[in-house]
Amino acid sequence: MLVCFVPNNVYGYPCKRHKISLYRSPNSTRNSFFNDDTSSWRKRFTYRRHTDTRTLWKSVDTHSVRMTSEPDKGQESPCNGEDILQSILKRKEVEVAQLKEKLSSESSDNPIVKRLAMEGSFEPKNTFYSALKKPNFTLSVIAEIKRKSPSKGHIGNIRDPAGLSRIYKEAGASAISVLTDWDGFGGTLDDLRKVYAAQQQYRETYPGPAPILRKDFIIDKVQIAEAAEAGASAVLLIVSALGTRTKELLDATYALGLEALVEVHNAEEIDIAVQSGAKIIGINNRNLKNFQVSLEHAIELRRLLPPEVVSVAESGISDPADAWLLRDEGFNAILVGEALVTAAERNNQGVGTYYQTPVNQAYGLIRAFLSKSSRKYANSSSAAFWGQGEGAKEFLGSISI
């Protein structure tokens, strides 16, 4: 039996180990992929785009192929997310080479060229850090703008990223994360520019515009200068992508006037992040080998962080009770994408201006994340979900007096 884990809603998926490309018709239902019948697989594989047909047919003939949308319990998927990360990084090398080539013919007035030339002369701003660092056991939300992902496929169209960022801000989000990778996540630097411009309307208000995190796969300081030019306050640095280069890129981030969210997945990566001088560390709940999310794993890892580090729990958070649990366990912030985008798009079916419906569910969800209930001391309720019914306050009353 050859088992391939294929993320939900992903239509084309390379499985390097089996040297085949798995492809599902966009119109097919999810259930049909649990079918073990080889003949129907043959039929399905006629939809695939694969250059080496003979390899593909050999695999199908000698094995019963099963695609599942969840990996079997305890089993590591043979088609794993490490392949995804590696293929994204290869793509980034090409993008960076193209960007450098383009900049080589620009004058010294080009803002990216200028910023690179001024490396080392910027004062640290700490806007991202102070937006996330609140009194202990107070949670901050980093709300993400993300159209699709390798693990979930399509998430939302987000026709108006600026409008969505306003909803996030007005609900109480402390920072906005903008995915700027096009191929994997459907995002652009232009989205970030629009969000930056929209956030300037909060300039004269307290605590001011939400700082923006450029969420991408940073492998070179030219991408950091590019992020700063577009309006980002911080960039994401992924230790599993950078390894021992984490310090080099983190130093470059500070020298170019930005801050960084340094992302880790295990204890070894925490060591690298801390040794590199990370001030904000994100523990990604999503295992990039099989895309499963585990809050427990993140909670265990957080205990290894030095107390002065701002801790962020990332990925797979949708239930306010999980947000409360993470806050009870000491996380300073949560980073939420899919749940907010799907909530925001859910009630934008043509009523009024985009995102300007009377009650936006992303707004309610952020309010619920920030409400004061506790997973430890009180149960969740469906009323508290979506921030409705003031369930959170009722729970707090029952435990605090």
**Interface contacts to ligand LARABZUK, rule CB under 6 A:** 81, 84-85, 144, 146, 149-151, 284, 288, 314-317, 335-339
Nearer to ligand LARABZUK, 257 or 364 (CB): 364
Indicate the residue type of 122.
Answer: F
Residue 135 and residue 137: Cα distance in Å, rounded?
Answer: 6
Nearer to ligand LARABZUK, 150 or 364 (CB): 150
Residue 120 and residue 346: Cα distance in Å, rounded?
Answer: 45
CB of 80 to ligand LARABZUK, least distance (A): 11
CB of 134 to ligand LARABZUK, least distance (A): 20
Instruction: Note if 146 is an active site residue.
Output: yes
Q: Which residue is nearest to ligand LARABZUK (CB)?
A: 337
Residue 177 and residue 161: Cα distance in Å, rounded?
Answer: 11
Instruction: Note if 144 is an active site residue.
Output: yes
3-state secondary structure of 81: helix
CB of 143 to ligand LARABZUK, least distance (A): 10
CB of 339 to ligand LARABZUK, least distance (A): 6
- H helix intervals, 118-205: 127-132, 161-171, 182-185, 189-199
Instruction: Note if 215 is an active site residue.
Output: yes
Nearer to ligand LARABZUK, 257 or 337 (CB): 337
Nearer to ligand LARABZUK, 209 or 316 (CB): 316
CB of 189 to ligand LARABZUK, least distance (A): 17
Residue 229 and residue 233: Cα distance in Å, rounded?
Answer: 10
Instruction: Note if 82 is an active site residue.
Output: no
**Considering only CA atoms, which of 190, 152, 144, 148 is closest in space to residue 314?**
144
Instruction: Note if 148 is an active site residue.
Output: no
**Considering only CA atoms, which of 136, 143, 85, 140 is closest in space to residue 362?**
143
Nearer to ligand LARABZUK, 148 or 166 (CB): 148
Angle 255-261-267 (CA atoms, 0-180°, nearest 5)?
115
Instruction: Note if 229 is an active site residue.
Output: no
**Considering only CA atoms, which of 258, 203, 260, 184 is closest in space to residue 226?**
258
Active site residues: 144, 146, 215, 263, 284, 314-315
